[in-house]
Amino acid sequence: MSDTREQLLEVAERLTQTKGFNGFSYLDLAEEVGIKNSSIHYHFKAKVDLAIALVERTHDDLLTAMADLDKSNITPEKRIKSLISYFQGYIKEEKYCLCGMMAAELQTVGPKVKKRLVAYFADLQAWLEKQFKALGHKDAKVRALQFVSALEGSLLLARLENKPSVVGQALGNLIK
């Protein structure tokens, strides 16, 4: 991957997590990276291509994080708590979950992005379901759905109040 493409993705990720995907333009991106607006089209022909690349990258990061947790020699409860910390990191940086942000803007990001977002959240829920089954929850699938729903909602509140601890408070009882 070229340095320019990587820079574009880094800046676009930060802007999406702080302003929303529709909160910036290619011109904003070009100015921050220090290239011509038209040069972005070499890497991402349309903004939807940038959105897909961002979701794929975020999805890959999440899959790697979950795989690393699976390889670790810790309990399912500690794995879930580590995942909570992973998402709390966004709040500490005054950001929001990129895929959550794009899901909120679903009507404007298009069906190809929606497909990728569905895959992201399906993988997150499947991993959580596995953890909840290992903890002995009979309703592991429902618990995983509740967890993801509470996660995204608590991230909003935590960001609003600038309190990462809100995420842990909202999710703590779902682990037990």
pLDDT of residue 1: 59
Burial class (CB in 10 A: 0-12, 13-18, 19+), 4: middle
For residue 167, give both structure tokens: 């995420």
Q: Please tell me the distance from the alpha carbon of residue 94 to that of residue 106, in angstroms, as a whole number.
A: 22
Chain segment 63-101, per-residue pLDDT in tens: 999 999 999 989 999 999 999 999 999 998 999 999 999
Determine the CATH number of domain 48-175. 1.10.357.10
**pLDDT at residue 55 tops 80:** yes
pLDDT tens column, 110-147: 999 999 999 999 999 999 999 999 999 999 999 999 99
Between CA 26 and CA 166 the distance in angstroms is: 34
Residue 176 has pLDDT above 90, yes or no: no
**pLDDT for residue 2:** 79
What does the block give as tokens for 153?
A: 């909602």
Whether the per-residue pLDDT at 159 is higher than 80: the answer is: yes
From the number of C-beta atoms within 10 Å of its C-beta (0-12, 13-18, 19+), residue 22 rates as middle
